[in-house]
Amino acid sequence: MMPDLTVTIGQLVLKNPVMPASGCFGYGEEYAAFYDLSQLGAIVVKGTTVEPRLGNAPVRIAETAAGILNAIGLQNPGVVAAKDRIRQLARYGTPVIVNVAGNSSSDYQRVIEILEDEPTVAAYEINISCPNVKQGGLAFGTDPEVVAELINKLRSATHRTLIVKLSPNVTDIVAVAQAAESAGADALSLINTLVGMAIDAEKRRPVLANLTGGLSGPAVKPVALRMVWQVTEAVQIPVIGMGGISCAEDAVEFLLAGASAVAIGTANFVNPTVCPEVIAGLSEYLKRHQLRSVQELIGLAKAAGKN
Ligand SMILES: Cc1cc2nc3c(=O)[nH]c(=O)nc-3n(C[C@H](O)[C@H](O)[C@H](O)COP(=O)(O)O)c2cc1C
């Protein structure tokens, strides 16, 4: 018998718990050349702002040991153009989650307002955690009170599933998670990238034009796992775990830590078919361990952690 991979995130029933992470999958067009996107549990699109953004000046990506630093700066075509591209994803019949970003709470509200009449959008992922923009972004994600105020406003702007994406660049991620939950978030996603830096020894200057960038990829996985563990101990709403997932075993670790679903970012750049491979690998794992449903895995490591 095929194991049941179904999970629930807010109002979304996902046929499996695997989705690409925002900003690493564009609007899916490039990846559609590699596989049928309808296999995905959900599709998460790039951070979307009211106006088009060119992003930061190059150099915007630097390779590091076991990861990359990026300082894209939320390049996107703006919500009106993005809406057309999002509509194209309806053909895959899998939930589309739109990552929403802005410099002020009214920016976030405006993006949602414009997307509310687009039936292809199943949920919003509120990016309060982008480390690469000068205003907004991270400033929203570090203060629990500011997070609560923003999410309260957005909660009254939509009945759709509201996912809040948390920053790891804080002292206490649990406080931010609880603030988002109390303000009406249906789910949380974590982690966004960790602020880092690269310096070119020969040129004797920072590699990134933005000086700092967000670290992602396998290097961040232990930090992400720790935060998923801590947050799922402290909230009732489901968590989408991400940070360095590049194979099914990594995904299983996040589920065991308490995540209800997982997202895969940087690994798509290395292996464009990583998402369907992780879906297949999850099924194999469940069969190998004689588990009938992926839900049996969620938080399973917690019991051992309490010994
Ligand atoms: C090039 C790049 C662009 C990203 N853009 C966004 C974005 O627009 N919105 C967002 O919430 N996260 C963005 N992220 C963060 C990822 O969605 C993810 O949270 C992070 O990279 C950790 O996962 P990973 O290690 O699997 O990449 C971006 C990451 C990368 C590498």
Do the domain assignments include residue 127?
yes
Within 8 A by CB and 6+ apart from 85, the residues are: 27, 29, 45, 77
pLDDT-derived band at 307, boundaries 50, 70, 90: low
Phi, psi of 20, deg, nearest 5: -75, 155
Residue 255: is its pLDDT beyond 90?
yes
Phi, psi of 6, deg, nearest 5: -65, 135
Q: Name residues contacting ligand 1 (CB within 6 A).
A: 21-24, 46-47, 68, 70, 72, 74, 99, 127, 130, 165, 192-193, 216-217, 220, 242-245, 264-267
CA dist., res. 67 & res. 243, Å (int)? 10
DSSP state of 171: S
Query: What is the residue range of 262's domain?
Result: 7-57+73-195+218-299
CATH code (residue 148)? 3.20.20.70
Mean pLDDT of 192-210: 97
Cis link prior to 174 (omega < 30° from 0)?
no
Do the domain assignments include residue 208?
no
Do the domain assignments include residue 62?
no
Mean pLDDT of 128-137: 62
CA atoms within 13 A on the CB side of 61: 9
Provide the token pair at 102. 């802005």
Q: Using the structure block, give the residue that is written with the tokens 């798509």.
A: 268
| For the CA of 68, the nearest atom of ligand 1 | 31
| pLDDT given at position 137 | 54
Q: How many domains does the chain have?
A: 1
Residue 157: is its pLDDT beyond 60?
yes
Percentage of residues of the chain with pLDDT beyond 70: 96
For residue 73, give the amino acid letter. Answer: G
CA dist., res. 84 & res. 29, Å (int)? 13
**49-82: per-residue pLDDT in tens?**
999 999 999 999 999 999 999 999 999 999 999 9
Within 8 A by CB and 6+ apart from 246, the residues are: 217, 218, 264, 266, 267, 270, 271, 274
* C-alpha 291 – ligand 1 centre gap (Å): 31
Out of 22, 25, 124, give the residue to mutate to test ligand 1, the one with the largest number of ligand atoms within 8 Å of its CB. Answer: 22
Do the domain assignments include residue 206?
no
DSSP state of 70: E
Protein residue whose Cα sits closest to atom 5 of ligand 1: 23
Q: Is there a catalytic annotation at residue 247?
A: no
Do the domain assignments include residue 67?
no
